[in-house]
Amino acid sequence: MGSKLIFLIVIVLGVIALAQLVRVYELSSKLRNRGEHEVTNRDNNLNGRMMVLFMLLFYAGFIWLMLTYGWTGRGDAASVHGKETDWLLDINFIIIIAVFFFTNTLLFVFSYKYIRKPGVKAFYYPHNNKLEMLWTVVPACVLAVIIILGLKSWNEVTDNAKDESIRVELFSKQFDWTARYAGDDNKLGRFDYKLTLDNNELALLTATTIDSAIHAMEFGPTGIKTLISKLNDRTIMLVPEDKEKMENDLSRKERLIRLLYQMRERHDGKVDAQAWDDIIQKDTLFLCVNKEYEFNFRSKDVLHSAFFPHFRAQMNTVPGMTTRFKFIPDVTSAEMRKRKNNDKFNYVLMCNKICGGAHYKMKMMVVVLSESEYKAWMTNKKKQTFKDAYFATAAPAAPAEAAPMAGDTLSVAKK
Amino acid sequence: MAAVAHEAHGHHDAHGHHDHDHGHHEESFVSKYIFSQDHKMIGKQFLMTAVFMGLVAMLLSILFRIQLAWPGESSSFLSFFLGEEWAPGGVLKEDMYLGLVTIHGTIMVFFLLTGGLSGTFSNLLIPLQLGARDMASGFLNMLSYWMFLLSSVLMLSSLFIETGPAMAGWTVYPPLSALPQAVSGSGMGMTLWLFSMAIFIASSLIGSLNYIVTVLNLRTKGMKMTRMPLTIWAFFVTAILGVLSFPVLLSAALLLIMDRLAGTSFYLSDIIVGGEMLTNHGGSPILFQHLFWFLGHPEVYIVLLPALGLSSEIISTNSRKPIFGYRAMIGSILAIGFLSFIVWGHHMFVTGMNPFLGSVFVFTTLLIAIPSAVKVFNYITTIWKGSLVLTPAMLFALGLVSTFITGGVTGIILADSALDIAIHDTYFVVAHFHIVMGMSAVFGMFGGVYHWFPKMYGKMMNLRLGYAHFWITIVGAYGVFFPMHFVGLAGAPRRYYDYSVYGEFDVDSLNMMMDLNQIITVFAIIAALGQLLFLFNFFYSIYRGPKAPQNPWNGNTLEWTTPVEHMHGNWPGELPTVHRWPYDYSKPGSDVDFIPQTVPLAEGEEEH
């Protein structure tokens, strides 16, 4: 408290001192019969020189930053299109830095050079069509080059992935990433968010997962049956807020379960295999060097953005929608560590769209392996397909039981 | 409308005579200072409110800059302002970090640079420079201010509620902003944000309509559109942009309010949040982004154009030279205004929008660089061979041209979709828009305050303090935002609470970011302290400053023909008649270096 008081006193004294200084200054101006609207030649020249001094310091700071922190700051691009992005970025930077120095220099030097001088009148020069045409046409031509180069690169980057490119899904939620490889058939299994359960976090769609989702929604610990029995149990006193919450929960689940039943009716079991052979991978994303990847992005809750700074790749993940981005990593992690002379370096996938408190922690390490390393890793990984993992965690209820009861639970739900 | 305005005009004329005859017009304290319908007083009310809001937003930025420079370290400054609730042990909470960033952005963009800049100077200068007694509707003008104040109070109040202010970034993208389960600020805080913005938009619309009507109908005799000062052109186009784009933001906000309160699914689809499976299906978060940026991009120019208008006037007056290429300047204002409506997609290159659509937006966006380049070269040619008087206002206007260049050129990189992929949502973007929009508009505003302070308060501001303020501000602000380009190029995402996460995969980048973040924060604190000089100068001069002469800067425009003492109706006696454009500075054949607009053309003299 004491320090705050002293702090406050210092501020008050500072303001008083400033006020006194200003008053002294004003008195002296009054003596010299000068108003505040008249800028003396001394002040004018001083500020003109300051303009040039500032410009020099500004440029020095810029050059120091460039030398110290590098051209792009994040090292060589580690993907095929990323190299082109960097090339284009360099060209654009050369153009804009030239413009930056040229125009800023004119501005600051002119504001020093053409400072008011006794006896020199300003040059009346209201317009000149040729000059104006010049600085309309020249920027337009430069921009045309920038646009053409940029769009050429953009069309290549956003073009459809080749059929043989490897499909990987990146699933985002607050606050982590999960990868899903498409498995042997290179087809990602289908999904529906309503199928999300503890043993099916990515909500993959198969006849079995539909059945267990229905079962969990009806008989699970917070399922429809439990809710109804709690709400109808006269021996339990419910706080009104809790009761309202449970009723809302119930009506929500009743709507969802109807959709699940429709989904089951329409489901074609032939596509199940696409999901069962998928491989789910957390924490680290392993990629094979020089192979094209098509990433499919999904979000469970809010917007996220999959940002791979080293591969110059970025795409938002949007709930209710699948977005895509393709690239070919062409430098292995081991190679990049050698280049950077840093054996702890890793590629990374970061979240780059504000998504909640722990946004900044939401990331996944990315490791690019050589082809042989990748094959070895994948062979091992294939022992744990979605199917293996799913049945290993043993769904609590056998789906076969749930099916015959479906009819009467639906009628309960409809009540 | 014209007829009504004319009638009001006539009434005011009579009013003016009345003032003249009796010296003082009786006004109660309430009608003069509080519920005033006089445009000059309303302009000052906007300025005061905006200065206060700007101070708050600046303080918020210092709070989160401390966290960024010294993450996880206890700070008594943080605990003093945020208390144990939001900064336990003097360390900022993650959620509150996002809250501070969000409210800082919202206040700066909307309350300081839209309400404050356009509200203050459109109100003050439109009638004075056009030769009108007041705005077309004094009552609506008053209403506009009071709604602005109400929305400011609502926005500030959201800082004090238990669940914290809105935390979804100033762009409030749903679903984050729609789901209280996702972040605590999306509860009551977000509701207050939305209602505050809805009222703000209403205020802005009423104000803008008033400006447009006034410019079209209340120009004095001889004030052709092509004789209007560039300030008025800028305010006029700004008001049109506001009228056309703000309603779209209102609709975006209303749909979001409905998603939050009425269970609709405009922006929501297939979501599981906080363990709860929502039934919303079929909405699209991308829709919100389209609606938001349909306002959001013109908004950039709503902020920027008034600053460019003010600086045109200031640079011309203090170079003692006509603005170079007056018609080209008008043309580029109009071109920028038009193009600003068809570029919004450049904020959305990586949202999953159709790539072809992306290429269209690349094209339109880069086109804006052309009128912007024209403006810059015209400013530079204006000071070329001038006779420069470096008043504080002039320094700020020249500073604006510098920041407009520095921030503008990086826009070319961001507008190029292929490059944007690599730097979208990084600090490079933060650097870009703070320099080109933030610094430029704030410099324009400071320039405007220094230049028109004598008109607002009839007093002069202290020159020396003005100089000190300018130099501290330009050094501090460039020191803050210039290094951010490098942080961004290194790949640092914006809105990260703590860049220590880089330690897990790239120590070199971590060291660089920590170094630069500390440099940035130190400059930010210096720049913030520099603003105290301005505050002192501003308030001291209002009460104790030396009395201003009628035309302190030897300007040509009509506001300098009004008496120093404010009066309702602006001119005693008849309204002035305009005979020439406002930029006859140092015209050959004239003894003095300025010829006010009210002076008739001499025999044989040609208009510009």
- Yes or no, beta carbons of B388 and A116 under 8 Å apart: yes
**Mean pLDDT calculated for residue range A257-286:** 92
Q: Which of B463, B512, B583 sits opposite A73 (nearest CB)?
A: B512
pLDDT (tens digit, 9 = 90+) per residue, A181-225?
Answer: 998 899 999 999 999 998 899 999 999 999 999 999 999 888 899
Buried b (16+ CB within 10 A) or exposed e, A351-389: bbbbbbbebbbbbbbbbbbeeebbeeeeeeeeeebbbee
Is A343 a domain residue? yes
CA A141 to chain centroid, in Å, comes to: 34
The CATH code that applies to domain B2-9+43-270+277-561 is 1.20.210.10
- When pLDDT is cut at 50, 70 and 90, the band that residue B313 belongs to is very high
Task: State pLDDT tens for residues A74-97.
Answer: 788 999 999 999 999 999 999 999
Distance from CA of A57 to the nearest CA of B (A): 9
Indicate whether A221 belongs to any domain. no
In a domain, A339, yes or no: yes
- Determine which of A30, A124, A200 to mutate to test the interface with B (most B C-beta atoms within 10 Å): A124
State the average pLDDT for chain A: 88
For the cut 80, the answer to whether the pLDDT of residue A406 exceeds it is no
3 state DSSP class of B137: coil
Quick one: pLDDT at residue A139? 93
Q: Evaluate if residue A38 carries a pLDDT over 80.
A: yes
- Cβ B536–A15 below 8 Å, yes or no? yes
Tell me: the pLDDT tens digits for B15-26? 444 444 444 556
Q: Any idea what DSSP says for residue B563? A: -
Q: Is A340 in Cβ contact with B422 (below 8 Å)?
A: no
| Interchain pair B358, A150: CB under 8 A | no
Predicted confidence (pLDDT) at residue A70 exceeds the cutoff of 90: no
- The sheet with strand A279-282 has its strands ordered as A279-282, A176-181, A166-173, A293-299, A323-327
What is the span of the domain harbouring residue A296?
Answer: 166-182+278-384
Per-residue pLDDT reduced to its tens digit, B348-372: 999 988 999 999 999 999 999 999 9
CB-CB contact of A306 with A297 (8 Å): yes
What is the spatial distance between Cα B470 and Cα A142, in angstroms, rounded to a whole number? Answer: 34
A124 and B270: CB-CB below 8 Å?
no
Is residue A334 classed exposed, middle or buried when 0-12, 13-18 and 19+ CB atoms within 10 A define those classes?
Answer: middle
Coil/strand/helix, residue A14? helix
Band of pLDDT at residue A35, cut at 50, 70 and 90: confident
Among chain A residues, the shortest Cα distance to B327 is held by A127
- Determine the Cα–Cα distance for residues A198 and A264; give it in Å rounded to an integer: 20
* Region of poorest pLDDT, from A234-238, B4-8, B208-212, B561-565: B4-8
**Is residue A146 one of the residues assigned to a domain?**
no
CB B537 within 8 A of CB B458: no
Rounded to the nearest angstrom, the minimum Cα separation between B387 and chain A is: 4
What pLDDT does B214 receive?
Answer: 96
* Cβ-Cβ contacts under 8 Å, B278 against chain A: 252
Average pLDDT over residues A153-168: 93
> How many other CB atoms are found less than 10 A from the CB of residue B94?
18
Find where tokens 């952005």 sit. Answer: B105
Residues of B in contact with A297 (CB under 8 A): 352
> Where does the pLDDT of residue B303 fall: very low under 50, low under 70, confident under 90, or very high at 90 and above?
very high
Residues of B in contact with A115 (CB under 8 A): 387-388, 390
Q: What is the pLDDT of residue B27?
A: 67
CATH number at residue A374: 2.60.40.420
> Among candidates B392, B395, B400, which has minimal Cα distance to A112?
B395
Residue of B177, B266, B409 best to disrupt the A interface, most CBs of A under 10 A: B409
Q: What is the pLDDT of residue A1?
A: 53
Reduced to 3 states (helix: H, G, I; strand: E, B; else coil), residue B274 is coil
Touching B: A residues 235-274, CB under 8 Å: 252, 255-256
pLDDT mean over A109-129: 92
Give A72's pLDDT tier (boundaries 50, 70, 90): low
Q: Residue B290: left (phi > 0), alpha (psi -120 to 50), or beta?
A: alpha
Residue A143 lies in a domain: no
Find chain A residues with C-beta within 8 A of B475's C-beta: 54, 57
Q: Are A179 and A185 in contact (CB under 8 A)?
A: no
Please judge whether A26 and B546 are an interchain contact, meaning their C-beta atoms are less than 8 angstroms apart: yes
A394, pLDDT greater than 70:
no
Q: Does the N-terminal peptide bond of residue A175 adopt cis geometry, omega within 30 degrees of 0?
A: yes
Q: Which of A128, A360, A365 is the closest to B497 by Cβ?
A: A360
B168 and A354 within 8 Å at the Cβ level: the answer is yes
**Lookup: tokens for A45:** 């020249």
Helix (H) or strand (E) holding A281: strand A279-282
Interface contact A89-B496, CB threshold 8 A: no
- The domain tally of chain A equals 1
Check if A174 contacts B (Cβ < 8 Å): yes
Copy the structure tokens of residue B540: 């001291």
Residue B286: pLDDT band with limits 50, 70, 90: very high
Look at residue A201 and tell me if it is in a domain.
Answer: no
Cβ-Cβ contacts under 8 Å, A312 against chain B:
421-422
CA distance to partner chain A, nearest, from residue B572 (Å)? 25
- Nearest chain B residue to A139 by CA distance is B370
Give the pLDDT confidence score for residue A234 in this predicted structure.
85
Q: Where are the domains of chain B?
A: 2-9+43-270+277-561
Tell me what the mean pLDDT of segment A4-14 comes to: 82
In this predicted structure, what is the pLDDT of residue B15?
44
- pTM for the predicted model, two decimal places: 0.92
B84 Cα distance to chain centroid: 34
Distance CA B595, CA A350 (A): 61
Here the ipTM equals 0.91
Angle at B449 between CA B445 and CA B452, to 5 degrees: 125
pLDDT the model gives residue A412: 37
Q: What are phi and psi of B35, to 5 degrees?
A: -90, 60
pLDDT of residue B603: 82
CB within 8 Å: B505 and A351? no
Q: Looking at beta carbons, which residues of chain B come within 8 Å of A96? A: 409-410, 412-413
Report the distance separating Cα A275 and Cα A191, nearest Å. Answer: 8
Chain A residue numbers with beta carbons less than 8 Å from the beta carbon of B505 are: 344-348, 365
Positive/negative CA dihedral, B60, B65, B68, B73: negative
Q: Considering the domain boundaries, does residue A132 fall inside one?
A: no
Tell me if A360 is assigned to some domain: yes
